[in-house]
Structure 1
Amino acid sequence: METIKTNNEIITNQISLGKAALISGLGLLLMALTVPFAEFYIFPKLISDDPTETVNNILSNKMLFTTSIFLHFITLLCDIVVAWALYIFLKPVMKSFSLLTAWFRLIYTAMYLVALTNLIKILNLVGISAKAEHGELADSVMFYFSSFQLEWSFGLVIFGIYLLLLGYLVYKSSYVPNVFGILLLIAGFGYLTHTLGTFFIPDWDLDFLFFTFFGELIFMVWLLVKGRKLN
Structure 2
Amino acid sequence: MNGLPISSQQARFAGVCYLVIILCGVGSEVALRGPLIDFESAEWTAQAISADIMRFRLSIMADVVMALADAALAVMLFFVFQPVSAGLSLGALVFRLLQSGLIAAGLLNLQAAIVFDDAELTLSFIELHAHGYDLGLIFFAVNCFLTAVLILRSGFAPRLLGFGVGLSGVVYLTGSVLRFVAPDLHGFITPAYVLPLIAEAAFCLWLLILPAQARRAALD
- For the superposition of Structure 1 and Structure 2, which TM-score range results when normalised by the shorter chain? 0.7 to 0.9
- The answer (yes or no) to whether the contact 2:12–2:210 under 8 Å persists in 1 is no
Q: Separation in 2 of the partners of 1:192 and 1:178?
A: 21
Q: Separation in 2 of the partners of 1:70 and 1:92?
A: 35
> How many residues get paired?
207
For the aligned residue pairs, the C-alpha RMSD in angstroms reads: 1.9
Match in the other structure for 1:32: 22
- The answer (yes or no) to whether the contact 2:33–2:55 under 8 Å persists in 1 is no
Q: Separation in 2 of the partners of 1:211 and 1:148?
A: 21
Report the AA paired with residue 215 of structure 1: A
Match in the other structure for 1:174: 155
- The answer (yes or no) to whether the contact 1:21–1:228 under 8 Å persists in 2 is no
Alignment of 1:203-222 (within 5 A): 203-204=184-185, 205-213=188-196, 214-222=198-206
Match in the other structure for 1:185: 166
Percent identity of paired positions between Structure 1 and Structure 2:
23
Report the AA paired with residue 75 of structure 1: M
SS at structure 2 position matched to 1:226: helix
- The answer (yes or no) to whether the contact 1:22–1:227 under 8 Å persists in 2 is yes
SS at structure 1 position matched to 2:83: coil
Rate the CA distance shift 1:52–1:208 in 2: closer, same or farther, 3 A.
closer
TM-score, normalization: structure 1? 0.83
Q: What runs of 5+ residues in structure 1 fail to find an aligned partner? A: 1-14, 130-136
User: Which protein has the larger Cα radius of gyration, Structure 1 or Structure 2?
Assistant: 1
2:138 to 157, 169, 173: 157
Rate the CA distance shift 1:228–1:143 in 2: closer, same or farther, 3 A.
farther
Question: 1:187: Cα distance to partner?
Answer: 1.2
TM-score, normalization: structure 2? 0.87
